[in-house]
Structure 1
Amino acid sequence: MMGTLPYAMAISGTAPSALTMILGLIVFVGGLALLTQLIRYIAERRAATRPSVHLEPPNASWRSRVHPGQICWASLQFTDRPGWKDRPCLVIRTHEQGVEVLKITSKNKSHRYECIQIPTRSWDKRAQEDSWLDLGESYFIWDQAVRRVAGSCDAATWHQVMRRHRTGYVYIANSTDGK
């Protein structure tokens, strides 16, 4: 008889009854179902209070702000040294108190995979050549850093931007005032 029982049961000398095994299985499955419901509840609560990206602003007050697709001049911090620089940038997401932008530079970046050429003359009359838009990393800036709106991005460039980045207005969906 010892040879037919699993090792753990053979040591203890007793085998669990079928009823004990069934009850244990029920408790295990019930606990697993309860844990699953708890995880789902927590995820739903977090999603309800987490901002997400939307195609339209939450209310009319946002329409007067800089919006996705606009090119603006803004004060951006240098990434490699201390200090700030006024530079053109493309707004990809508008938040409650700031925007996310992509940097635009006049320096030729054709050798970089994440940079694309962007027509410049429609928003910068002094431009002699097209500029370069860095699609790699976006930067959050506060509304106060935006100096002025220069114009809008052309459709072909904006299409390429939308393929790489989620664009739109960032707010909590169930909020009526955009906060």
Structure 2
Amino acid sequence: MVRHAAQRGRAVPQLIYGLSWVLLFAVVVIGCSATAKEIGQRTLGTWLTFEPRRRPVFLSKVLAPALWAVPLALLLMVGILVGTIAVLEGNGVPEGMNSGEWADLAWISLRVVLLAMAVGVAGAALGFVLRHVAILIVLLVGYVIAVESILVSLVQSLQSWTVGKHVTSRVLDGTTWQVWPNEW
């Protein structure tokens, strides 16, 4: 029975980590589309005509995706928690998470929410710069393929500088990596 309890304590944080990538991708696309669409339809210029102060307009546009990320992230956290417990109960795995594991789960969820807020702000800022969501998606996919996959596998000492390792360390409160020496 102890084995099953330990599995439940490890299953939920790993599911949160895995699905946090989907959340972060959705939040950056939402943040980018919020600002890029307004620039593309030229409604931002109209708003600046009636509100000439640039700083409040910029802050409202950048902070809106961060605020939208909060309920989206909380909904994902609750869905993961309820879904995982329902699946484990259905398979006969008994309740086995102690108060320490619940506290870790709460901290992981809080870190995911804060990270989603930061990614939403970054997405809105990228919307101002790129002005189109398709460009953002191409750049994200290109970065994942070129840097996170190919370049890091060729130059392993770059692992500590990748976005993937930083997201892993933020969500799971630390990470490790291994660099193999070149023995040619």
| Superposition TM-score, scaled by structure 2 size | 0.22
| Superposition TM-score, scaled by structure 1 size | 0.23
Higher-RCO chain (CA-CA 8 Å, sequence separation at least 6): 2
